[in-house]
């Protein structure tokens, strides 16, 4: 932007020289460099905290589907990118071993309940002891708990959608053996909801940002468009600040560590989806996950710089037509 404004100044200077309004002295020859310096100090340097900008990305939660049981997949009724309601079956696991376990426990429970009834009858006739009644009562309670767990496993053979959404990148097929291994998922489920839009702000500009401030963003997905937004929260942590449980001693910071920007969460205006003009299965989502672009936040500091930032972000929006990166 500094170069653009300097070019405008040079063109104006050229016109004034050609029309005879000024004589091309040494002062006017070095004035473009002075002009650039003044722009940088007076306008663009304060703009870094008056209207800080950064890279924008849209984040979308993806639920990794891991079954509660281990078994062979016999059916995968869903299709990728097909809208699914909460409770719809994603895939089925062979239920026969789990049904057999339920039948076995129900038979054992029936027998123990008969024995309990006989023991109670004999106890009332003072032929049996209270110990026998207590023993069979405990066995009934134990079998009821085991039966409840077995029924839960049987119900888990039908793996269902946790919410409204769709499956993406589905490679699961009948015949695949799956298991309750947390380290591995067998299907990725994308929940349909309004996604999180975050902009990366440098640490030295973050002190001027707070919730409620206005912002603007533009996405490469929609060139030429600038969308209004509002700051809702600041994620006050970066990957460099994460201290995960480990047996390794954390490295001390060095001069080679670069300060990473903080993520500022933005809420797009409600009419963004209409502006996007996208009729897909993501009707509830304003912008699809992974949408990339640039944005700016308008703080209460150095408000005179806001107009320059507004021009810059609109230039970015139009450059999205020809700049894929």
Per-residue pLDDT tens over the stretch 305-320: 888 889 889 989 999 9
SS (H, E, C) 127-147: CCCHHHHHHHHHHHHHHHHHH
Q: How far apart are CA 267 and CA 318, in angstroms?
A: 23
Q: According to the model, what pLDDT value does residue 246 have?
A: 81
Q: According to the model, what pLDDT value does residue 104 have?
A: 95
Domains of the chain plus CATH, in order, are: 1-45 (no CATH), 51-60+193-239+259-325 (2.40.30.170), 62-191 (2.40.50.100)
| Phi/psi of residue 56, nearest 5 degrees | -110, 140
Q: How far apart are CA 169 and CA 105, in angstroms?
A: 39
What's this model's pTM, rounded to 2 decimal places?
0.72
Q: Where are the beta strands (DSSP E) in the chain?
A: 53-59, 62-65, 71-75, 89-93, 158-160, 165-168, 177-178, 187-191, 196-201, 214-219, 227-235, 262-268, 292-298
Of the ranges 152-156, 168-172, 202-206, which one carries the lowest mean pLDDT score? 168-172
Q: Are 221 and 259 in contact (CB under 8 A)?
A: no
Q: How far apart are CA 283 and CA 112, in angstroms?
A: 55
Which residue has 């839960």 as its token pair? 152
43: Cβ contacts below 8 Å, ≥ 6 apart: 304, 305, 308
Structure tokens that stand for 21 in this block: 């309004």
Q: According to the model, what pLDDT value does residue 39 have?
A: 67
Q: According to the model, what pLDDT value does residue 12 have?
A: 79
Name, of 33-42, 48-57, 270-279, the range with top average pLDDT: 48-57
Q: According to the model, what pLDDT value does residue 4 have?
A: 67
Residue 80 to residues 171, 190, 196, 289, Cα–Cα distance (Å): 9, 11, 23, 16
Mean pLDDT of the chain: 85
pLDDT for residue 187 is more than 60: yes
Q: According to the model, what pLDDT value does residue 278 have?
A: 44
Which residue has 């206005």 as its token pair? 214
């Amino acid at each position: 932007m500094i170069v653009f404004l300097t070019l405008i100044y040079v063109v104006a200077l050229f016109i004034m020289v050609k029309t005879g309004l000024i004589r091309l002295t040494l002062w006017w020859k070095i004035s473009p460099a002075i002009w650039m310096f003044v722009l940088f100090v007076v306008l663009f340097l304060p703009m870094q905290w008056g209207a800080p900008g950064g890279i924008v990305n849209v984040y979308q939660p993806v639920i990794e589907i891991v079954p509660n049981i281990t078994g062979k997949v016999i059916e995968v009724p869903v299709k990728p990118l097909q809208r699914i309601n909460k409770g719809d079956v994603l895939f089925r696991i062979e239920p026969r071993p789990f049904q057999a376990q339920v039948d076995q426990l129900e038979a054992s429970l029936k027998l123990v309940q008969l024995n309990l009834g006989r023991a109670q009858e004999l106890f009332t006739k003072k032929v049996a002891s209270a110990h026998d009644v207590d023993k069979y009562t405990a066995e009934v309670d134990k079998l009821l708990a085991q039966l409840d767990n077995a029924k839960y496993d049987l119900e888990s053979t039908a793996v269902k959608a946790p919410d409204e959404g769709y499956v993406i990148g589905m490679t699961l097929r009948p015949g695949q053996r799956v298991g309750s291994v947390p380290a591995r998922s067998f299907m990725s489920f994308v929940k349909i909801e309004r996604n999180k839009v975050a902009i990366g702000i440098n640490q030295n500009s973050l002190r001027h940002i707070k919730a409620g401030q206005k912002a603007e963003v533009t996405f490469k997905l929609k060139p030429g468009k600038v969308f209004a937004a509002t700051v809702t929260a600041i994620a006050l942590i970066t990957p460099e600040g994460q201290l995960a449980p480990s047996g390794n001693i954390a490295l001390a910071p060095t001069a080679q560590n670069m300060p990473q920007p903080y993520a500022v969460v933005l809420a797009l205006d409600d009419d963004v989806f209409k502006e996007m003009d996208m009729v897909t299965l993501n009707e509830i989502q304003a912008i699809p996950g992974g949408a990339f672009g640039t944005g700016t936040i308008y703080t209460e500091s150095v408000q005179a710089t806001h107009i320059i930032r507004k021009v810059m972000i609109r230039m970015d929006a139009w450059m999205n037509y020809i700049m894929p990166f």
